Amino acid sequence: MTSPKTVIVTGASSGIGLAVAEAYLKRGDNVVGNARTLARLQEAATSIGDPENFLLVEGDIGKPETTQRIFERALDAYGRVDVLVANAGQFLGKPTVDLTEDEIESMIDVNLRGFLYPAQAAARHMSGNGSGHIVAITACIAMQPQAKLPALLPAMLKGGLNHAVRSLALELAPTGVQVNAVAPGVIDTPMFPRDEQTWAFLRTFSPTGKTGVPQDVVDAVLYLAGSNYVTGSIMTVDGGSTAGVW
């Protein structure tokens, strides 16, 4: 029988992060979930039945001390970390000239530092074990910008993460640690308004005329984190929006 894995999921209180956490919990793995507030994490845990193997660690993932606390508690509870799913992120579709300093700093904190610090800790720990998986959740709009949705910050930061994933994959390849990313398109999560006009617009971002659901991203994460041979890959889950012009 395979021993349970220990999986850290950032941004685990809703949407894709919660779906990833729930999928691993259902497999019998131990999940360490992070979000900014404990209240949101507790609500998330309650929504999936308060599993005993769901360890909640609140804190701003853009701060290095939060990552340190996450790994310390994971190791105290379970002894090792096998998978990091760096999911925490913000999206801001807004004309570049209208971006404020606070918005820029917030996006850098969550999308850049929120990957860098956990990935650094995971690389240090996993390379010592000789195995492990780091999976970043990026964005397909960073690979194929859209004129109808100004998104300089997501394109810049998530695009940078796509290249960082490749760089880290090469750096860690000799240690047995694999590094990949999932680049979703429009996924039905609480990030978006619920009105039909908005969703009619969002469906135009894919040549299939569809949007995705969190399970679509979960499936990609489980594949990448279960592979023995895939590393440095950016897997798009976007209904074809990065395939070309339509």
Distance CA 201, CA 206 (A): 10
In a domain, residue 242? The reply is: no
Please give the pLDDT value at position 182.
98
Bridge partners of 219?
none
In a domain, residue 156? The reply is: yes
Structure tokens given for 218: 């979960």
In a domain, residue 182? The reply is: yes
In a domain, residue 139? The reply is: yes
Distance CA 124, CA 136 (A): 17
Other Cβ atoms less than 10 A from the Cβ of 221: the count is: 27
In a domain, residue 35? The reply is: yes
Q: CATH number of the domain that 25 lies in?
A: 3.40.50.720
Structure tokens given for 164: 């960082």
Please give the pLDDT value at position 1.
60
Q: How many domains does the chain have?
A: 1
Residues in the chain where the model's pLDDT stays below 50:
none
- For 8-42, the pLDDT digits (tens) are 999 999 999 999 999 999 999 999 999 999 999 99
In a domain, residue 174? The reply is: yes
In a domain, residue 245? The reply is: no
Q: What is the model's pTM?
A: 0.96
- Amino acid letter at 166? R
In a domain, residue 137? The reply is: yes
From edge to edge, which strands make up the β-sheet containing 30-35? Answer: 54-58, 30-35, 6-10, 83-86, 132-137, 177-184, 234-237
What is the residue range of 152's domain?
Answer: 6-236
